[in-house]
Amino acid sequence: MGRYLTDIHSTMLRTVVLRSLAGLAVIFGVVTLMFFLIRLAPGDPALLLVGPTATEEQLAAQREALGLDRPLPEQYAAWLGRFVRGDWGSSIATGRPVRAMISAAWPATVSLVGLSLLLSYLIGILVGAIQAMRGGRLDTALSVVTVTLFAVPGYWLGLMLVMVFTYWARALPAFGAAGLDADFLTGWDQVADRLRHLALPLTTLTLIGVGGTARYVRGAMLDVRNAPHVAIARAKGLSPLQVSMRHVLRNALIPVLTLLGLSLPALFSGAVFIEAIFAWPGVGRIMVEAVGARDYPVIMAATAVSAMLVVVGNLLADALTAWADPRLRVAEHSGGAV
């Protein structure tokens, strides 16, 4: 059995290594694609920097200073070398170091996306499970709600919430992650201020996620309901609730966890719009601003960071799936029994 466990562990290790390498390849591919796309597109950051009244010589000097006069492959090699070593350069538009900008921004994005992911899955699983277990009119009514949420564009829902809660009820702030007076607040007041700013963007992102998750959980549970093992559980005399919770929901959650990994890119995409609406100081807003200013170093760094976040999120979702599905972690429990 010791030999068996070693084998299992080496297989798992190999899977983890292979998946990580594939993830690295994706990140590398994304940044390479972006590098050439933004340079092949029209638009010149040097021109934006020196302004339309500059002379040809000034423009050429600025391009040389930014390294934009050299051949593309050379620029790419130089950029990649510096990027891997952690030298991400400075913003062309503002002169700030890119790493400082990104490290200030990514916690805001991760906390917004992470919290909304958690909430939308909790609520979505609950709603989907209730629909599948109850059926009938409640199911139909909730289906109308979930399909509507599934169809609502995040930025519009955000606007509607701002209209109701900020302009009409005057209850919640619509912009930024903290109030202007945040630095003067202490203890709980500061926490409360943060939470109030988080409320609208988080609600928006969560609500649009709930629709898709609930629809998926409902479908997966209805599929599992007719599986043989569920019939056996019923025949054993388990109560309907026990059957639903232990045998249907648990098995239905496995594809849902896979969906979690697959939905991450979409969630980050959604977050870009939400950050733009609510002026949330995250990577998405930096990206939108940098794209407008042709700020190459910032676009590249923001792209690389969002690709990394997506890849890491996918690996985590895979790990969760392995944890939830006993068939994928034979090493710990059933090793002796098989």
Contact footprint for another protein (CB under 8 A): 26, 29-30, 33-34, 37-38, 41-43, 147-148, 150-153, 155-156, 159-160, 162-163, 167, 219, 222-223, 225-226, 265-266, 268-270, 272-273, 276, 287-288, 291-292, 294, 299, 303, 306-307, 310-311, 314
Q: Which is nearer to another protein, 23 or 61 (CB)?
A: 23
Q: Which is nearer to another protein, 88 or 268 (CB)?
A: 268
Enter the tokens of residue 45: 């950051």
DSSP state of 103: H
CB of 222 to another protein, least distance (A): 4
Inter-CA distances, 313 with 253, 264, 306, Å: 18, 7, 10
Q: Which is nearer to another protein, 53 or 226 (CB)?
A: 226
DSSP lists the bridge partners of residue 90 as: 97
CB of 291 to another protein, least distance (A): 4
Which residues are CB-neighbours of 227 under 8 A, at least 6 positions away? 251
Q: Which is nearer to another protein, 247 or 294 (CB)?
A: 294
Q: Which is nearer to another protein, 191 or 262 (CB)?
A: 262
Residue type, 267: L
Inter-CA distances, 48 with 45, 84, 334, Å: 5, 28, 64
How far is the C-alpha of 172 from the C-alpha of 116, rounded, in Å? 18
How far is the C-alpha of 246 from the C-alpha of 266, rounded, in Å? 30
Q: Which is nearer to another protein, 109 or 120 (CB)?
A: 109
CB of 25 to another protein, least distance (A): 8
Q: Which is nearer to another protein, 176 or 265 (CB)?
A: 265
**Sign (positive or negative) of CA dihedral 38, 43, 46, 48:** negative
How far is the C-alpha of 147 from the C-alpha of 127, rounded, in Å? 12
**Sign (positive or negative) of CA dihedral 29, 311, 332, 216:** negative
CB of 5 to another protein, least distance (A): 32
Side-chain-side CA neighbours of residue 170 (13 Å)? 0
Burial class (CB in 10 A: 0-12, 13-18, 19+), 210: buried
Enter the tokens of residue 230: 């569920």
Enter the tokens of residue 63: 């391009």
Q: Which is nearer to another protein, 85 or 137 (CB)?
A: 137
CB of 272 to another protein, least distance (A): 5
Residue linked to tokens 């030999």 = 3
Q: Which is nearer to another protein, 156 or 323 (CB)?
A: 156
For residues 65 and 273, is the Cβ–Cβ distance under 8 A?
A: no
CB of 112 to another protein, least distance (A): 15
For residues 308 and 110, is the Cβ–Cβ distance under 8 A?
A: no
CB of 183 to another protein, least distance (A): 29
CB of 206 to another protein, least distance (A): 17
How far is the C-alpha of 35 from the C-alpha of 26, rounded, in Å? 14
CB of 76 to another protein, least distance (A): 17
